[in-house]
Amino acid sequence: MSTPPRPHRRGFFAGLRASFLTGLVVVAPAVLTIWLITAVVEFVDSRVIPLIPRETLRRFLPENLAHMDLISLPGIGLVIALLFTLIVGFFAKGFIGRSLIQWGEDLVSRMPVVRSIYNALKQIAETVFAQSSTSFNRACLVQYPRPGLWAVAFVSTDTKGEIAQKIGGEKLISVFLPTTPNPTSGFLLFVPEKDVIALDMSIEDAAKLIISAGLVAPDPAKPGQVVRKKRDEIS
């Protein structure tokens, strides 16, 4: 009677390797996050702090703080930059601010090279920092590049204007189909509403799925904050 084979045991170095990889998965994101935040703070401080007159700033400080060199504190440049951006935002909402912005854009539009660079950067900024009212509605599935193959996409809006008039017939949905692993590039598709399947997962979960090439799938027990809707309720 033959003895059953002994179960294979991992070697000592294999265990060390597994432990190291597990630790790397835990430590690397934290270290990279701290490094990135530190790099951003140092970069902004190095650009903003030289522009701040120290003596003028001390005049606006309370007496108990006037003797302190607050400019040397890490992150003070970032705080000042954020406050400046906030003030500009409030100012830009007013009539005078909008008028000045319009005047400045009219001036830039007359400069051939500067005009192209400014318009490109403005479009990128408006896309990245768009308000929630103009962001994607929800994640969805569409058949691409041929029937039978499915791809994760994002519902943008109902197709309107000349495109809807030229195509005619059934209702169309404007869908953005991102690429993997860079979701900032992709394709704009005009898909019949009946061929778009809404997903329960949130926009963030769908983006993670795309960026990870399918390795990071959302938990089906936690479908996100998107309300479940039928295909005929996608608009």
> How does DSSP assign 116-161, residue by residue?
HHHHHHHHHHHHHT--GGGS--EEEEEE-SSTT-EEEEEEEEE--H
Residue 144 lies in a domain: yes
| Segment 5-25 mean pLDDT | 77
What's the confidence (pLDDT) of residue 170? Answer: 85
Residue 7 lies in a domain: no
Range of the domain at 207: 134-233
Query: Cα 93 to the chain's mean position, in Å?
Result: 24
| Position 139 confidence tier, pLDDT thresholds 50, 70, 90 | very high
The length of the chain, given as a count of residues: 235
The DSSP call for residue 82 is H
Query: Would you say residue 187 has pLDDT above 90?
Result: yes
Residue 142 lies in a domain: yes
Tell me the DSSP string of 37-58. Answer: HHHHHHHHHHHHGGGS-HHHHH
What's the confidence (pLDDT) of residue 96? Answer: 86
Residue 194 lies in a domain: yes
Residue 118 lies in a domain: no
What's the confidence (pLDDT) of residue 61? Answer: 65
What's the confidence (pLDDT) of residue 232? Answer: 44
Lowest mean pLDDT among 13-22, 57-66, 78-87, 94-103: 57-66
What's the confidence (pLDDT) of residue 220? Answer: 66
Distance between terminal CA atoms of the chain?
71
| Segment 79-87 mean pLDDT | 88
Structural domains counted in the chain:
1
Residue 14 lies in a domain: no
Each residue of 28-79: pLDDT tens digit?
999 999 999 999 999 998 888 888 776 766 666 666 665 566 667 788 888 8
Query: Cα 15 to the chain's mean position, in Å?
Result: 38
Average pLDDT, the chain: 81
Query: Would you say residue 153 has pLDDT above 90?
Result: yes
Residue 138 lies in a domain: yes
* CATH number reported for the structural domain that contains residue 142 in this entry: 2.30.30
